[in-house]
Amino acid sequence: MSLTEEWMQEIHKGYKLYYQGDDESEKKRYVQYMDDGIRSVKFFSKDNFSKEFDVYVHPDRKALDTQWQNDWKMPDLRSECWMVASGIAGKLDLLSPLKWKTEACEHDYGNKDKTKKLITHELFHIYHAQKNPSPDFAETQGLDWFVEGFATFASGQCDTERLAEIKKAIENKTAPSQLDDFWKGKLKYGLSGSIVMHIDSKYGREKLKELLKYKTKTEVLGALKTTEKELLEAWADYIKKMK
Ligand SMILES: [Zn+2]
């Protein structure tokens, strides 16, 4: 593999960082974001990662797509412009932030707060995947809302702006009526993040952590002793009462 030979490797506490060429100049900043994010995961979970992982900073969109095509066995995959990273039990894949301006949309590397939360979001996926019997989420069923909602909520991406949009959608009766539609469309982060925020608030952090081990929506709802309909009603009430 000629590509592999170009990777440079740096060993850090808990992870190994792989990067190429131009990213050399930014790697200190990447490490800062990683270390901050790892601290956030530990603080939120009062727990640690169960194993070390790799972090790959891909030099361009083509390299990232090639990686995802191989990992997900989808040879025709062309990632959408807003997709810049992924996290599974053993690794984090990231499109070089130096390329976000030209090869991505919706992300601004210059926005430090949002970039930090984006990296932290992926770290929560890694933490989650290390607790899940399907370490790359390939076998999870009907849980997009929970996997993405967990990472969105825990990383602090479900901010007041997004919550206000969700409140409006609920009041206007345009919010989706089933969980399968939560991780879709423009409001996906707010929808998925806010329902996990509701679960955390109502059932507590320990219960939320217990849910990370489940592979199906049925298991998650069973552990909460609720139905999809009840959960959605309780979520809507919770959001409507928010100031
Ligand atoms: Zn995600």
pLDDT tens, the chain, 243 aa long: 445 558 999 999 999 999 999 999 999 999 999 999 999 999 999 999 999 999 999 999 999 999 999 999 999 999 999 999 999 999 999 999 999 999 999 999 999 999 999 999 999 999 999 999 999 999 999 999 999 999 999 999 999 999 999 999 999 999 999 999 999 999 999 999 999 999 999 999 999 999 999 999 999 999 999 999 999 999 999 999 987
Q: Give the pLDDT confidence score for residue 1 in this predicted structure.
A: 45
* Interval between CA 4 and ligand 1 midpoint (Å): 26
- pLDDT at position 20 is 95
Q: Which CATH class is domain 2-131?
A: alpha beta
Residue ranges, comma separated, of all CATH 3.40.30.160 domains in the chain are: 2-131
Q: What's residue 4's pLDDT? A: 52
Say if pTM beats, i.e. exceeds, 0.85: yes
State in Å: Cα 130 to ligand 1 middle.
15
Ligand 1 (ion): residues with CB under 5 Å are 148, 151
**What's the confidence (pLDDT) of residue 5?**
58
DSSP the chain: -HHHHT-EEEEETTEEEEE-GGGGGGHHHHHHHHHHHHHHHHHHHTS--SS-EEEEEESSHHHHHHHHHHHTT-TT----TT--EEEETTEEEEE-GGGHHHH-SS--TT-HHHHHHHHHHHHHHHHHHHHSSSTTSTT-BS-HHHHHHHHHHHTT-S-HHHHHHHHHHHHTT-S-SSGGGTTSSTTHHHHHHHHHHHHHHHH-HHHHHHHTT--BHHHHHHHTT--HHHHHHHHHHHHHT--
CA of 121 to the centre of ligand 1 (A): 6
Q: How far apart are the CA of 148 and the centre of ligand 1, in A?
A: 5
Distance 142 CA to ligand 1 centre (A): 15
pLDDT recorded at residue 243: 77
Task: For residue 189, report the distance from its CA to the centre of ligand 1, in Å.
Answer: 9
